[in-house]
Structures are given as C-alpha cells and as structure tokens.
A = this chain, B = another copy of it.
Amino acid sequence: MKNEIVTVCRKAHFNATHRLHNPNWSDEKNEKVFGKCNNENYHGHNYNLVVKVTGPIDPETGYVIDLKLLNDLIMEHVVERYDHKNLYLDMEDFRDVNPSAEYISVAIWNILRPLLDDSLLLAVELFETERNFVCYGGPAN
C-alpha cells in the first residue's frame, strides 16, 4: 500500500445562540422572511461539527493527520471561539452577514484553512439540528 488518498473526519460540538436579522430591512420583512428565527431575544442550538481533511497517508504513522492534533486545532480555534456564545451579539465574524448555518460553516472553514498544510483538502459539515445541516468545501475555483 502506498500513497493512498484518504479523508479523515473529526466530530466536535458547541452550543450557541443566534438570531437572523437583516438591519437593512423593515421589521415586517424580517419577520416574514426569518419567522421565529428573527425572535429579538434569540434562540439557540447544539451545533455538531464534522471537519474533513483529505490527503495521502504518511506510511510512518498510518495517519493523514494526527486526529488528536486536528481535534486540538478544532477545540482551540473553533469550539473555544463559539461555545456558549451569542453569535449575533458577541462575534465580529458575523458583523456583516447573518449567523446562518451557511455562513457559520464558511467562517469555520476560513478559520481552519490557514492552520492546515497546503497539501491537505478541507471540508466542513455543520448540523444546526438533526434535520438541518450544511456542507462547505471552500470557494469554487
């Protein structure tokens, strides 16, 4: 066996609060478009996150990337940043865009991308609930 390309995945989670609201719109339009997600006192989710890293196996270790190291990166740079936070109020990451699951997945990808070796591919999957989830694999070329 040599040089096989494998994807390794690590799951993490964090709890956070958010609210969807477009300040350029009237209250009526916000209420109509975002419904209960526009509640001015916020609502929250247990976010489940899957980080997927693709690359060749290192034959010395059998690893694409040490999952303990990957987990440490996720904990330090993503979970510490978002856990038990109000994503709408507390975070400048979402100053210009809504903290929708879509934009949170993009933000997480943008946080992790520079922390990984350029030879590795990265994708993130974010579950807002068991029934709603999103996937982002980086900007299209």
Task: Scan residues 1-36 of chain A and give those whose CB is less than 8 A from a CB of chain B.
Answer: 1, 3-13, 15-18, 20, 22, 24, 33-36
Task: Scan residues 117-141 of chain A and give those whose CB is less than 8 A from a CB of chain B.
Answer: 129-136, 139-140
**Nearest Cβ on chain B to A46's Cβ, whole angstroms:** 5
Q: Please count how many residues in chain A sit with their CB below 8 Å of the partner chain's CB atoms.
A: 69
Copies in the complex: 6
Let me know if B62 and A13 touch, CB within 8 A. Answer: no
Indicate whether A45 reaches chain B with its CB closer than 8 angstroms: yes
- Contacting residues, chain B, for A20 (C-beta < 8 A): 61-62
CB < 8 Å neighbour of A46 from B7, B42, B45: B45
Let me know if A43 and B86 touch, CB within 8 A. Answer: yes
- Contacting residues, chain B, for A1 (C-beta < 8 A): 96-97, 103, 106-107, 110
- Contacting residues, chain B, for A102 (C-beta < 8 A): 4, 6, 8, 57, 62-64
Let me know if A106 and B60 touch, CB within 8 A. Answer: no
- Contacting residues, chain B, for A7 (C-beta < 8 A): 134-136
CB < 8 Å neighbour of A43 from B16, B68, B99, B101: B16
- Contacting residues, chain B, for A35 (C-beta < 8 A): 68
CB < 8 Å neighbour of A15 from B45, B62, B64, B96: B45
- Contacting residues, chain B, for A98 (C-beta < 8 A): 61-62
Cross-chain pairs A/B with CB under 8 angstroms, 5 sampled: A12-B131, A17-B41, A20-B61, A39-B85, A45-B46
